[in-house]
Amino acid sequence: MKKAVVLSAAVTALAFAVPALAHFQMIYTPESALVKGAEIPLRLVFTHPFEAGHTMDMGRPEQFFAVRKGKKEDLLKGLKPITWTSLTNSGAAYEASYKVRGMGDNVFCLVPSPYYEQEEDIYIQQITKMVVNAAGFPTDWDAEIGLPAEIVPLDKPYALWTGNVFRGIVKSNGQPVPYAEIEVEYLNHEPDMKKNAFARKAHAEAPQDAFVTLGIKANAAGEFSFGIPRAGWWGFCALGAGPDKKFKDKELSQDAVIWVQARDMK
The closest alpha carbon to 187, from 31, 50, 36, belongs to 50
Residue 12 in domain: no
Interatomic CA distance for residues 220 and 171, integer angstroms: 12
Cβ atoms within 10 Å, residue 78: 14
Count how many residues are written for the chain: 266
Assigned domain for 11 exists: no
Neighbours of 3 (CB within 10 A): 7
Rounded to 5°, the CA angle 235-239-240 comes to: 145
List the beta bridge partners of residue 251.
246
Alpha carbon 12 to chain centroid, angstroms: 30
Global confidence as pTM: 0.92
Q: Which domain holds residue 47?
A: 21-263
Determine, yes or no, domain membership for 96.
yes
Residue 82 lies in a domain: yes
Strands 223-227 and 165-172: antiparallel
Q: How many domains does the chain have?
A: 1
State pLDDT tens for residues 210-229.
999 999 999 999 999 999 99
Query: In this predicted model, what pLDDT tens digit does every residue of 35-82 receive, in sequence order?
Result: 999 999 999 999 999 999 999 999 999 999 999 999 999 999 999 999
122-134 and 160-161 beta bridge pairing:
unpaired
What's residue 1's pLDDT?
A: 43
CA distances 232 to 6, 72, 187, 200, 263, Å, are 45, 28, 7, 16, 6
Identify whether 165 is part of a domain: yes
Question: Per the domain annotation, does 192 fall within a domain?
Answer: yes
pLDDT of residue 6 exceeding 90, the answer is no
Using an 8 Å Cβ cutoff, are 101 and 135 in contact? no
pLDDT one-digit tens code per residue, 90-119: 999 999 999 999 999 999 999 999 999 999
Cα separation of 127 and 219, whole Å? 21
DSSP assignments along 199-240, one per residue: EEEES---SSGGGTSEEEE--TTSEEEEE--SSEEEEEEETT
Assess if residue 140 is contained within a domain. Answer: yes
DSSP bridge partners of 252: 123
In a domain, residue 14? The reply is no
- Say if residues 247 and 123 touch (Cβ distance below 8 Å): yes
